Each structure stands twice: as structure tokens, then as C-alpha cells.
Amino acid sequence: MSKTMQAVVKAAAAPGAEIREVKIPDFGPTDVLVKVKIASICGTDLHIYEWDRWAQSRIHPPLIPGHEFCGEVVALGNEVTTVKEGDFVSAEMHVACGKCLQCRTGEAHICQNVKIIGVDANGAFAEYVVIPETNIWKLDPAVPQEYASILDPLGNAVHSVLAGEIAARTVAITGCGPIGLFAIAVARAVGAAQVFAIEVNEHRRKIAAEMKADLVLDPSTQKVHQEILDRTGGLGVDVVLEMAGHPSAIRTAFDIVRRGGRISLLGLTSKPISLNFSEDIIFKGITIQGINGRRMYQTWYQMTALLKAGKLDLRPAITDRIAMKDFSSAMERLKTGEASKILVYPNGSRMG
Amino acid sequence: MSKTMQAVVKAAAAPGAEIREVKIPDFGPTDVLVKVKIASICGTDLHIYEWDRWAQSRIHPPLIPGHEFCGEVVALGNEVTTVKEGDFVSAEMHVACGKCLQCRTGEAHICQNVKIIGVDANGAFAEYVVIPETNIWKLDPAVPQEYASILDPLGNAVHSVLAGEIAARTVAITGCGPIGLFAIAVARAVGAAQVFAIEVNEHRRKIAAEMKADLVLDPSTQKVHQEILDRTGGLGVDVVLEMAGHPSAIRTAFDIVRRGGRISLLGLTSKPISLNFSEDIIFKGITIQGINGRRMYQTWYQMTALLKAGKLDLRPAITDRIAMKDFSSAMERLKTGEASKILVYPNGSRMG
Amino acid sequence: MSKTMQAVVKAAAAPGAEIREVKIPDFGPTDVLVKVKIASICGTDLHIYEWDRWAQSRIHPPLIPGHEFCGEVVALGNEVTTVKEGDFVSAEMHVACGKCLQCRTGEAHICQNVKIIGVDANGAFAEYVVIPETNIWKLDPAVPQEYASILDPLGNAVHSVLAGEIAARTVAITGCGPIGLFAIAVARAVGAAQVFAIEVNEHRRKIAAEMKADLVLDPSTQKVHQEILDRTGGLGVDVVLEMAGHPSAIRTAFDIVRRGGRISLLGLTSKPISLNFSEDIIFKGITIQGINGRRMYQTWYQMTALLKAGKLDLRPAITDRIAMKDFSSAMERLKTGEASKILVYPNGSRMG
Amino acid sequence: MSKTMQAVVKAAAAPGAEIREVKIPDFGPTDVLVKVKIASICGTDLHIYEWDRWAQSRIHPPLIPGHEFCGEVVALGNEVTTVKEGDFVSAEMHVACGKCLQCRTGEAHICQNVKIIGVDANGAFAEYVVIPETNIWKLDPAVPQEYASILDPLGNAVHSVLAGEIAARTVAITGCGPIGLFAIAVARAVGAAQVFAIEVNEHRRKIAAEMKADLVLDPSTQKVHQEILDRTGGLGVDVVLEMAGHPSAIRTAFDIVRRGGRISLLGLTSKPISLNFSEDIIFKGITIQGINGRRMYQTWYQMTALLKAGKLDLRPAITDRIAMKDFSSAMERLKTGEASKILVYPNGSRMG
């Protein structure tokens, strides 16, 4: 094995990123070294690339980003027992402390001291990545490799959908980025009665339809609230999955949820959101949930079970497959909404 | 409208039943008179027909049995407001008192004073049946008429499947009478990862396969426990839906459920069942639920939503369609297991 | 029985109310006529009295207000079966339609078509009040009469406290009006580990201490957030019960709740509330619930059980006992915060 | 520090145990060495002492038993970070594997590969015991030392009581060994409306009364079922905590639970238990739970919070305090029921 590797490196506190030759990372006794087969691009990676306010406050260059991936185990720390060389794996990239109240009571997804690989430590846009054994997720051969590289955002979708009752319920998804798109597939797979997808971007609406949303609505031209009342007997939807993080989408979420319904919030926004608590929450008796990450490891078992059973067709959301050298141009495609989920092949296995 | 009608009458405290001309029933100010389109036959009807020990203790002849049906509203008590003549309806036949603790806390399905139409009062194997307005379930035109006649047992299945977490879970169904068969369809529709059907009767196993169980097992010739361990990574299943009410099926249920799993018990048995509480329940940390009837009316909303959305294909379980005059011969077919769900047409609309 | 009675009447669309001689109300076959023993005053009554914007939009004078009371059954509609003359009763004053989705699925407290006696129909500040049998709550003799007149706000408190896990949890209550005060007692009774009461009004803080809050904080002079972190190992509280409906109290609620905690919102506010969804809700993974009314009738069983068992000492919150003729001056005392719960004796039984 | 210590040793596959001088145990990099202050005796220790069938199948002598204790940290493995020398601690003695489905989904209390210190490895009836850091529970100074030595059985009680809704509910506890007695205190602390204790042994009934059970019943002389119906309005109890593991107590549990209630089973029995599934479970719509161990570490947080808040008075159940040399005579007292919880002082700190 060579001692160096190619990687995407955020080298400086400024926009952009570059491909560099860097040292293959060292690993400790409880770590696993994985040769990355596919790493996929998240909106967070775009924030880091563009060096927005959030990135400036969180990221300490130099950093190799990338927190969605799959690959093959090539070396093991000497205390590792649950995987072996040659295993095909992905990983939960939120490394929880294991010691706080949340970690010790089954809520590690909101650990007080979490570190995210690809954000707080070097990640997967590289030929190799180091992962602690605790966070490795060994893949069943029945899971397609491309899907194996997007378990992180798929897990966000599964966590959101299954955060409350969903079977036989009507569901609206506000915002059809990759997680919103995956949520369409997941909601359908677990018996949602109707899935409404709400999205302003034309490209994304097209994919939402391909993911088999029962109805795709464009809030810029359609009366979303009225359309949904018409299709729910005047009630509104049982469940809203808010995946946009945009004030008008959030407003829609509160408008369309029925009395007693739930709103699961995943889409991040730095803008203040204004609500009328009496009308929006209290009289309607709704429940609002903040959804962060994936439940460790309940969500992973759930999504693996759904994938193994062939219940999820995620192909329409995978729009681009690129070699790592084309990372910067992929960033541009992501911004337009033309690309949804972009798969990066660091070892050139596909792109030659 | 004539003043008399044809009906199946359990006339005496003895086996059998006969077709008689009887008075069309009177109805009160809060009642609805329904012209029966289809009534379907339940195992309970066979108990009444055969006059077994349970029937002897519960039934007071003369009685018109029948508690699964659909039909058209033809007359209304003067205080009825939520349905009108011509509406197509089914009904919850458990008439709850509305006044006991259970009724007043959302648990009317285990009302202390329940009366069952078709068991404790005249039922639906007749051209007309009287139903209190509270119990009428107005049907969406999207629900197929044949399915509309089997909402009672379908509701048992929905209640059982949705009595705990089910999405992405492995499920075993012990006993494939109609409710077990419906449970296969429901479990699949709401995202069960794998559905194992366990049944000794060859006819029923064949239908279970048509209902798309992932695996159908014959406990008389196959090692059920081992087969299920093999397909669940040695864990056992997350959920068992016990629909047989037979000691060996119940034994299997406890053997195959995983640590921390649930067993939902619906199949009735008069035989004492012996368990090793320490090994079967406590060390495994399982949960066992008694499932009775359908939740009023959560289950009805759930099954209507699934049916409207076209998520359930129940056709393989509907094996026979007969005119009411052939009721007695239908009883014979039921006993063999060749027939699963038998639809009776009291008004001869289909059979001519 | 006389044909007229004394009552508080909101006669015109203007501030104020007057004591008038009015006709004793008629009642229908499913109604119960109750001779009011004690009626207590709610903040809503003050809104009606002062004729604020909410009152102007909701109330149609003439109206007898009053929706918290207890009394003796003196006459019955001819279809009433569950109470008899002489029974001592209170009532759920939210009259639910019984026919909407929410009513039929155990969520009648958020009925789409609710009518509130004392708001939408004549209420209990009168010698007699008419209540539908469905809404009558028959009182166990073990429940003190004074407490019997405040089951409505006590029920709000019980509903809020028991809307999620509470045993062994730390709880903060923002706002110590009567419902907040009752919530202190309820939270303690059901095993909250620590109860923090947060209130700007000095009178109310004094009562909060008498209700045995573990710590009473004044946000106008104390660093509430820091105090609570200090007493919760730096975590924040597990549960916040927001009873103030004031923007700064709501801000505090989101600041002090721990990751994974819950905020139950009961305090009404017409002002828009601004939140940072990412920081306030999503990253913390909290759950927010709108709490409306009381669960019918789960909450009523719960509070009756607690009262019968002597688990609640509510006396400090009952500050005033008045004859009905002093209604207007009671309104003034309520505004200052000096009075908390004021009991009105319409039949002069106490005040002579 | 000496290299040897005194310990209770089960030296041979035969009844009895002896006090021996043995080597102070070695510990690894992730372990903690604790000087035992108090170790308390469990019924399991009696099984081991008497060498019953269960002990013969599970125990591999030589073994130091003892799995309930508290003490002071005296040495640390070099990877330990969360405790330091001098800390006062107890421990969860079920050492879960951390790698099975149950461990990875918040159900470590039913780990597939659990090892119990004091059963499968040397335990706490010794001057020193070795505990993995993961299992150490650091004690708040507010927790009394005697209580600190009984967190294991107290945790069983907390786990059982809080395994479902309990506030404002009626509760029966069948069997008043130490865990049943603790359950009385816990149920009261978290707002159970009435606590019925059912126990045949006179000594235990006396302690149950001292623990403030609302009613203590002797099934050998009283009509338990009728007494409970009389005190619950004819309903039966909402919750049964079965702590006896005796067939007649289990029979009582099913008789007295109300429709829709729960039975939490903790008491172990090797005898087969026979039920009528239809009458006992299905028609009543009850839920039955197997309770094993303590939730890791939710239960530990819960009981610590209750103890810190001073909500539990456990003193009546602590009947004996002995020096370790008197271990064998303590076993005799345990058998009679005269002793409930016996505290052992291995380092003679109390007994001199």
C-alpha cells in the first residue's frame, strides 16, 4: 500500500477546495481503515466549500470533508473484533462521547460532545478514511453499493419518517433535496396513505414525481394549503416532514398540519422563524420534533432492513457519478438543483 | 318496501341454522336500517352453527347471526345526522356502552358492557340489518364493495399489526385463517421487512403465498424455529402475530420471538396454555398483548386509508361467493380450510 | 323551585358585567340541570369582562360566563341514566361534537367543532347551569368541594404534566397563574425530581413557594438560565411546562430545556414568537407539544384518582371566596396578581 | 495495600460457602478497582449458597458471589477517564456486550451475551471488586450509603414500576421480597393512586405496611380478588407488578388486573404456569411485560434522581447489617423471611 493518497482538501479559511496528495491517515487500536469506494456529496459539503458563516464558525482547515461513504476495510486496529479486512462497510459519522446523559440513555444522536467525521475531523472525500470500530456499519451484500454510500442522508429520512406514527397516515414533505426525496420513498415503503411533496425547484419536483410522491406541488404557483385540504377531507395532513429549512416552507408546515398532527423538523435555517403559538401549536394540539442525525443504531437497523427487503427505490435521486477530480464542478451543479445526490469515486473505480 | 325479509336464523339451541322469512326489523330514533349487499362468514358463525360449548354459553336463539357486512342505507331514525339514504356503509358491530372507564378513555374495544350485533342481537345474514348511528362506518367510493364486507376481520388484522412498531421489522404470523391472511397484506403494506406465515393447512398455505408472505412454513413438516433463526441472523422475529389459537402455534410464537420482541395474541383458545415465565417472558424481556376487536375508531380510519390508497390486495383470501340459501353448504367448506373468506349475498344481487 | 335565578350577565359588547335576575334555563332530554355550589374564576373570564380583542371576536352577548364549577344535580332530562338528583358533580365544559376524526380517535380535546359552556353558551356564574349528560363528571365524596370547583384548570395542569414522561425528571414551570401553581402540586405528586417555578409577580412567587416548588425564581432579578444549569448538572431541565404565554417566558423555556427534553405549551399569547429553529429545536432534538383543554376523559380519571388519594394540596392557590354580587371587585383583584383562584358562591351558601 | 483480601468463596459444586483469604484481583486498562464498603445479599445469592438446580446449571466454582454493593475507587486502569480514586461508586453488574442488536438499540438490559459479575465472574462479597469503567455508577453524595448498596434491586423495582404508565393508577404488587417492598416505595413516589401489597409471609407483610402500602393483603386468609374489586370500583387494578414468581401469585395477578391493564413480570419461577389465553389476556386486552435487570442507564438516572430528591424511604426493608464472617448465618435468616435486605460489611467498617 502506498503511503499517500488523493483527497479533497479544504486547505484554507476561504471558499473552494482542492485535490491534494496527502498522507494516508494513521489509525489507533480501536480504529478501522477503510478504502473508500464511493463518497457522496451533502449540502453541508457545499457550505464548507463556499465558506459560509456556519462553515467559518465550525471548520478548522486544513480539513478533508466528506461524511457519506462506503468502502472496503483494509486495515484494523489491534483491538477491533467486529469487522475484518475485506468487509464492505459504511459508518455513522457522528462520533458520540458515550459518556453523557444522552449517550447513556439511548439518545446518542443528540450527544453533548459529538464530533463529526468530515466536519470536525478528516472525512471520506479521499482514497482512505479512518473510522472508530464503534461507528462502523457492516453492510449486508443485499444492499446495493450506490445506496451504501448514502446511508447517512437516508438515515436522516428514516429517522424523520419513523419518529412517530406513519402507517396509514397522510404525509407532506416540504423541501425535496436528497433527504426530502428519500423521505418520499421511505414514507411510501412504511405505508403512508398519501405522500405530498412540496418544492419550488423544478428539477427537484421532477425527481419527487419519479420517487412516486402521490402529488407534487409547487408553492410558487399552486395553492398548497387548499390543495392539501381538498385531498384530506378538509383536515390537513397527519404528518409534515420539514426538510427545506426555509421560512415559507416552515409556514406551510404549520398551515397544513391537522389538529393533533406532528411536524418533524429537519431542515436547518439560520433565519428567525416567527409563529403564533396559540393558533399554530396550542389550539391545534400538535407535536413538533427536532430531528438530528440518525438514532444510533436503531435507524441503521431500520434502513438496512428496508434496503435488504428491496422496499426502497432511490435511483431517481442519484443524479451524478463523478471522479474525485471533478469535485469543484459538482459543487456548481449542486447549487442549481439540477443535481440531487452526487456520488464521488475517489479511487476512480468507476470513472477510470 | 316489503315487511318481511329472508334471513339465516339460528332457531334453536342445537346445531344448524335455516333460511326463514322474518319481519324486517324495527329501528329507533338513533338507528340506521341498512339493506345488506354482502355479508361475509366468520369462524364465529361456524361456532354458532355447530353449537359448540362457547355458543351454548353465549347465544340465545332465535338469532340472526352475521357481523361482517356492507350495504346501502335505506331508512334512518329521526335523530340520525351523519348518514343519509343511499349511503354505502359498513359498521363496527361491537356496540360499546360509552359509559365505562374503558369507553371514556379511548379503549372502547374492551368495553365492559359490549354487545355484539350478530352474536347478542340480530345480525347481517339477512336482507336488512339495524345498526346504531354511532357504529355506522360510511364508505369511501374508492373502497371495493367486496372489501367493504370484510372490514371487521380486516380491522382485527390492522389492529394486531399496528399494536406496536412494525416498519422495518421481521414478522411471523402463526395461523392463516382469514385474519392471519389479511395480516400478511397489512404487514407488507406498512413496511414489515419480512413476513413469515406459519400454517398447517395446505389450502391456507397456498393462499398465504398468494398474499405474498416472504416465506410460508408448514410446522407439520418443517423446523419452523430453525428456519426463522436462519433468516433473521439467529435473532428470531421482532413481532409475532398469533392468529391460530392453537397450543402448538402459541408455543412456536414464544420460541421464535426475539429478545425484546412483541407477541400480539388474537387467536382464541379454550385450552389452558402452559408457559415457562422465566425463560419465555422475563429473561427475553418481551411484551405480550391481548388484541380484541378493533380500536374505535382509529383502526377504521387506518384501514380505510390503506384501502383507499390501494395498498392492500385481499383478493386471494376471498375464495367463495354464495347466495344466502347456500349458507349451510358454505359452513361445510369452511371447515375443511378450502374456503377462506366466504361472501354471502342476501339480496341475491350477484348470484341471481 | 323558582323560575328565575341570579346570574352574572355579560349584557353588551362592552367592558363589564352585571348581576341580573334571569330565567332558569330549559334543558333537553339528554341534559342535566345543576344547582351551582361554587363557580371559580378563570383568566378567560377576565378577558370577557374586559372585552379585549379575543373576547370581541368570540363572545356573543348576552352571555352568562363561567366554566369552572361544582354543584348538585336538581333535575334530569328523561334520557339521562348515569346521574340522579342529589348527585354532586362538576363538568367538562368543552362540548365536543363526537363525530369528527379527533373525537372518534380519542382526541376529543381538540375537536374540530367544540363549543365551550361559559364562552359559547351560558355558563356557571349563576344559580343554575345546564350540562349535557356526556359532560357531567360525578364526584367522589372524597374530593373536597372547593377542589371540585377547580377541576377545569387542575385538569389543564394534569394534562400538561402527564403529556410525557415526568417521574424522576426535573421540571420547570414558567408562569405561576393558577394552572402553573396547580402544575407544581401535580408534578410533585407524580414524582418529578425537582420543580422549578419561574414567575415575575411577587404574589404568585409567594404562592409557588407555598405549593412547595423546590426553587422559585424571579426572572426580573435572577439569572434563571444559569440557576437552572447549576442545579441540573449543567444539563437544563428535562421538562418545561410553559404556562405564561409571555414572549420572555417562552424564550426562557427554550433556553433551559435540555437536549432531548420536552416543552409543553399551554400559556396563550397573541404575540408572534420568534425562534431559531436550528439552535432551539433541531440540534437539541427536543419535542414541543401544544396542550389544549383536558383529555376526555383520561385527565378526569387521573385527577380524580390523585385527589381521592390525597396527593394534591391546592389550598395555597385558592386565595379568595366571594359572593356572586362581588364579581366585579374580584375582577380587579385578579388583575393585580394578589388573587390567584377566586371561588364564587352563586347561591350564597357560604357568604350568607 | 495488601495483596490478599477476605472474601466469601463458593469453593465447590455443593451447598455452602466459606470465608477465605484470596488474592486481590488484577484489573485491566479499562477497569476500576473498588474497595467494597457495603455489599447486600440477594435471593440469587441464596440460590448459589444452597446450590439449587439453577445454580448447578449456571455457576462455575470457585466463585466470589455478590452483585449489590457500593464502595470507594482505589485504583484505575490507565484508560479510565470518568472516575478517579476516592470516588464513591456502585455499579451495574450486568456487563453487556455492546455489540448485539439489543445493546445497539438501547436494550442492553436484554443483551444476548450478558455476563453478570457475582454470578459469571467474581463479585462483591469481598474487600475488593473489579468493575469495567462502563458499568461504574458514580454516586451523588446526597444518596445515603446504605441505599447505595442496594441500587441493583432498587433498580429492578424502578424498572418495573416505570415500564408503563403509573401516575394516578392503582397498583398491586404480588410478592414482598426486597424488590416488591422497594416497588411499594417507588410506586408511591411517582404518584400511584393506591398501592396494594399482597404477600403470604407475615414478616414481609409487616414491612410492606411500614413501606406505606395503602393496603396489605394476605392471600392465605383474605379474598384478595374481592378486596381489590371493592377498592377499585369493581374494575380491578390498572397495574400489577408480579414480584413473587409463585404460581398462585401469578394467578392472582391475572385475576385482579383490569381490562386494558398491564402486568409487569419480574418474579422468576421454574414451574410451568398455565393460563387461559382467551379469558386472561385477549378479551381483557391486557399487556404483559417481562422485566429483566435495569435499563442501562435510564433506570440508574431515574433512581438516582428519586433518591437525591429524598422521595424514597427504604429503611424498613433493610433489616440486617452484618460482618462478612456471619454470611452463612445470614443465609438462614433470609430463608425464614424474617430478614429482608441484609447488608454485609466486608471491610468491617461498621461491625468492628
Residue C180 has pLDDT above 90, yes or no: yes
Q: What is the pLDDT of residue A312?
A: 98
3-state secondary structure chain C: CCCEEEEEEECCCCCCCEEEEEECCCCCCCEEEEEEEEEECCHHHHHHHHCCHHHHHHCCCCECCCCCEEEEEEEECCCCCCCCCCCEEEECCEECCCCCHHHHCCCHHHCCCCEEECCCECCCCECEEEEEHHHEEECCCCCCHHHHCCHHHHHHHHHHHCCCCCCCCEEEEECCCHHHHHHHHHHHHCCCCEEEEECCCHHHHHHHHHCCCCEEECCCCCCHHHHHHHHCCCCCEEEEEECCCCHHHHHHHHHHEEEEEEEEECCCCCCCEEECHHHHHHCCCCEEEECCCCCCCHHHHHHHHHHHCCCCCCHHHEEEEEEHHHHHHHHHHHHHCCCCEEEEECCCCCCC
**Please, which pLDDT band fits residue B352 given cuts at 50, 70 and 90?**
very low
Up-side HSE of residue B281: CA atoms within 13 Å toward CB? Answer: 26
The residues in A 65-124 lying below 8 A from D, measured between CB atoms, are: 81-82, 99, 101, 104-106
> Above 80 in pLDDT, residue C304?
yes
Catalytic residue from among C30, C47, C67, C252: C47
Judge whether residue C344 has pLDDT over 90. Answer: yes
B257 touches chain D (CB under 8 A): no
Q: How far apart are CA A293 and CA D342, in angstroms?
A: 47
Q: What share of chain B is helix, strand, coil (3-state, %, to 5)?
A: 30, 30, 40
CB B181, CB B318: distance < 8 Å: no
Res. B349: pLDDT tops 80: no
Using a CB-CB cut-off of 8 Å, the residues of chain C touching D168 are 158, 162, 190, 301-303, 305-306
Q: C290 CB near a chain A CB, below 8 Å?
A: yes
* φ/ψ of residue A22, rounded to 5: -130, 170
CA–CA min distance C35, chain D (Å): 27
Tell me which chain B residue has its CA closest to the CA of residue C106: B106
List CB contacts (< 8 A) between B244 and chain D. Answer: none
**Mean pLDDT, chain A, as a whole number?**
96
C-alpha D188/C-alpha C127 separation (Å) is 40
Nearest CA in chain D to B246: D277
Q: Which three cell numbers mark A218?
A: 409547487
Chain A residues whose CB is inside 8 A of the B305 CB are 168-170, 193
Given a cut of 60, whether residue A116 has pLDDT beyond it is: yes
Encode pLDDT of D278-305 as tens digits: 999 999 999 999 999 999 999 999 999 9
Determine contact, residues C243/C267, Cβ cutoff 8 Å.
yes
Whether C83 contacts C29, CB under 8 Å: no
Give the residue-averaged pLDDT of B293-314. Answer: 98
Q: Which amino acid is at B199?
A: E
Contact D169 C305 (CB under 8 A): yes
Q: Is B232 on the interface with A (CB under 8 A)?
A: no
Residue at B193: amino acid letter: A
Instruction: Give D98's Cβ-side CA count (13 Å radius).
Output: 12
Q: Is B168 on the interface with D (CB under 8 A)?
A: no
> Residue D1 — very low, low, confident or very high, per pLDDT cuts 50/70/90?
low
Q: What are the two backbone dihedrals, phi and then psi, of residue C249, each rounded to the nearest 5 degrees?
A: -70, -40
CA dihedral sign of residues D256, D262, D268, D271: positive
Concatenate the DSSP letters of all residues of A7-68 into one string.
EEEB-SSSS--EEEEEEPPP--TTEEEEEEEEEE--HHHHHHHHT-HHHHHH--SSB-----
Nearest Cα residue in chain B from A303: B168
User: Quick one: pLDDT at residue D220?
Assistant: 97
Size of interface B-D (CB pairs under 8 A): 116
Q: Does residue A275 belong to the interface with chain C, where contact is any CB pair within 8 Å? A: yes
Report the gap between the CA of B234 and the closest CA in chain A (Å). 15
Pairing state of beta strands A88-91 and A136-138? Answer: antiparallel
Catalytically active residues of A are 44, 47
Per annotation, catalytic residue among C30, C44, C246, C299: C44
Q: Give the mutation candidate from B57, B292, B294, B299 for the D interface (greatest D CB count, under 10 A).
A: B292
Closest to A277 (Cβ–Cβ): which among C259, C269, C283?
Answer: C269
Chain D CB within 8 Å of residue A298 CB: yes
Instruction: Give the model's pLDDT for residue D349.
Output: 52
Q: Which residues of A touch C292 (CB under 8 A)?
A: 282-285
Distance of CA A245 to the CA centre of its chain: 14
Task: Report whether pLDDT(A349) > 60.
Answer: no
C166/D166 CB distance under 8 A: no
Helix (H) or strand (E) holding D19: strand D18-23
Query: Letter for the amino acid at D206?
Result: K
Q: How far apart are CA C306 and CA B229, in angstroms?
A: 47
A278 touches C at CB < 8 Å: yes
What mean pLDDT is predicted for residues A59-83? Answer: 97
For range B294-298, the mean pLDDT: 98
Which residues on chain C are in Cβ contact (under 8 Å) with B296?
A: 104
Chains with 3 or more CB pairs under 8 A to chain A? B, C, D
Point out the catalytic residue in the list D30, D47, D81, D299. Answer: D47
For chain C, say whether D160 makes contact (Cβ under 8 Å).
no
D203 catalytic, yes or no? no
CB D89 within 8 A of CB D139: yes
Q: Is the pLDDT of residue A351 over 60?
A: no
Check residue C2 and give its pLDDT.
80
**Is residue C299 within 8 angstroms of chain D, CB to CB?**
no
Q: CB distance C297–B99 less than 8 Å?
A: no
d(CA B212, CA B313): 10
How close, in Å, is residue D187 to chain A by CA atoms? Answer: 22
- Mutation site for A-interface testing, chosen from D81, D103, D105, D296 by largest number of A Cβ within 10 Å: D105
Nearest CA in chain B to C81: B99
pLDDT digits (tens, 9 = 90+) for D165-215: 999 999 999 999 999 999 999 999 999 999 999 999 999 999 999 999 999
Q: Is C232 on the interface with D (CB under 8 A)?
A: no
Return the pLDDT at D305: 97
The minimal CB distance from D297 to the residues A105, A297, A298 is found for: A105
List Cβ neighbours of B80 (8 Å cut-off, separation of 6 or more): B29, B30, B31, B32, B133
Task: Read off the amino acid at residue B149.
Answer: S
Q: In degrees to the nearest 10, what's the CA dihedral of C217, C220, C225, C227?
A: -40
pLDDT tens by residue, B216-270: 999 999 999 999 999 999 999 999 999 999 999 999 999 999 999 999 999 999 8
Gap from D189 CA to chain C (nearest CA, Å): 5
Of B47, B109, B159, B246, catalytic:
B47
Q: Which of C164, C312, C189 is nearest to D192 (CA)?
A: C189
Model confidence at A350: pLDDT above 80? no
Average pLDDT, chain C: 96
- CB contact (8 A) between residue C288 and residue A284: no
**Shortest alpha-carbon distance between residue C196 and chain A (Å):** 20
Is the CB of D23 inside 8 Å of chain C's CB atoms?
Answer: no
Residue B47 is among the residues annotated as catalytic for this protein: yes
Please list every residue in chain B whose beta carbon sits closer than 8 Å to the beta carbon of residue C104. Answer: 296-298, 301
ipTM: 0.97
Q: CA of C317, closest CA in chain B: separation in Å? A: 29
Q: What pLDDT is stored for residue D126 in this prediction?
A: 98
Residue C307 scores a pLDDT above 90: yes
Contact D167 C308 (CB under 8 A): no
- Could you tell me if A301 lies within 8 Å of chain D, comparing CB atoms? yes
Kindly indicate the confidence band of residue A347, based on its pLDDT and cuts at 50, 70 and 90.
confident
Compute and round to an integer the Cα radius of gyration of chain D: 20
pLDDT at position D151 is: 98
Determine the pLDDT at residue B2: 81
| Residue numbers of C between 234 and 253 with CB closer than 8 Å to A | 235, 245, 250
Report the pLDDT value the prediction gives residue D262, as an integer from 0 to 100. 98
Q: What was the pLDDT predicted at B351?
A: 45
Contacts of A170 in chain B (CB under 8 A): 305
CB contact under 8 A, B309 and A166: no
C-chain residues within 8 Å CB-CB of B105?
Answer: 106, 297-298, 301
Distance of residue B224 Cα from the nearest chain A Cα, in angstroms? 21
Using a CB-CB distance cutoff of 8 angstroms, which residues of chain D are in contact with residue A81? 99
Instruction: Provide, rounded to the nearest whole percent, the portion of chain D with pLDDT above 90.
Output: 95
**What's the pTM value of the predicted model, to 2 decimals?**
0.97
